[in-house]
Amino acid sequence: MEPSGGGRKERPKPREPAARLEKAKQKSAQQELKQRQRAEIYALNRVMTELEQQQFDSFCKQMQASGE
């Protein structure tokens, strides 16, 4: 009976590393999410900048055509 009592004392110890492992997994997942969101924001920014440039070029052509 005493060895099982000793086993009970050891059970919380393995749970601590499991909790640490879970926290590490969550932190890693959060970092991956942030990286993905950042990449998406940069991609969207690039697309919007290109669109803005196209619209500006179109506007300039219209102004030149109406000025002639």
**Phi first, then psi: what are they for 3, rounded to 5°?**
-60, -35
Q: Which residue has the higher pLDDT, 16 or 66?
A: 66
Angstrom distance (rounded) from CA 38 to CA 66: 42
**In which band, very low, low, confident or very high, does the pLDDT at 7 lie, cut at 50, 70 and 90?**
low
What's the token pair of residue 35? Answer: 């990286």
For the chain, report the end-to-end CA distance as a whole number of angstroms.
102
Q: Is 60 helix (H, G, I), strand (E, B) or coil?
A: helix
Kindly report, residue by residue over 17-53, the tens digit of the pLDDT: 888 999 999 999 999 999 999 999 999 999 999 999 9
